[in-house]
Amino acid sequence: MSKRKVTKKGAKKKTKKVGIAGKFGSRYGKRVRDSYKDVMEKQTSRYKCPRCGKRKVKRVGYAIWECTSCGYKFAGGAYTPSTEMGRAALRVVGAHLRGLEAISEIEQAEEKEGE
C-alpha cells in the first residue's frame, strides 16, 4: 500500500515538505530548492487589492500586478505586490501628510479665533 496521502479530490499528493520544488527531485541542493520554494509560493499566491479590497491580485509580469476582479493594474515588487521599502516610504509620506493636516487645522482654528 502506498504511503502517499489522498486529497479531497482523490488525486494522490506527491510532495509533503518540498511543495512546488518537488519537481527538482534531489538535484540542486536543499538550500536552492528551499529558496526557490519560498519565492514561487510568494509569487503565485493571491494578494489583497489596494483599490477594491478583494483577494484577487495576481502577478502579470515582472513587478506588474493586476486585480482580476476590478482590473486595477499597478507596479509593485518582483515577487510580492508591495516591498518593505515601499511600505516604509508610505509610512514616511503618511506621517508627513498627517503633520501637514494638523498644521492646517491649527491655522484654521487660529483664523476663526481672530475673526
Radius of gyration for the alpha carbons in the chain, expressed in angstroms and rounded: 24
Q: Is the pLDDT of residue 90 over 90?
A: no
CA distance 77 to 90: 14
- Is the CATH number 1.10.3720.10 carried by domain 45-81? no
**pLDDT of the residue at 25:** 87
With H, G, I as helix, E, B as strand and everything else as coil, classify residue 57.
Answer: strand
pTM of structure: 0.62
Domain residue ranges of the chain, discontinuous segments joined by +: 1-44, 45-81, 83-115
Burial environment of residue 36 by CB neighbours within 10 A (0 to 12, 13 to 18, 19 or more): middle
**pLDDT of the residue at 111:** 77
Is residue 57 within 8 A of residue 65, CB to CB? The reply is yes
The rounded mean pLDDT for the chain is 84
Is residue 54 within 8 A of residue 71, CB to CB? The reply is no
Comparison of pLDDT for 46 and 14, the residue scoring more: 46
**Across residues 53-72, what is the average pLDDT?**
93
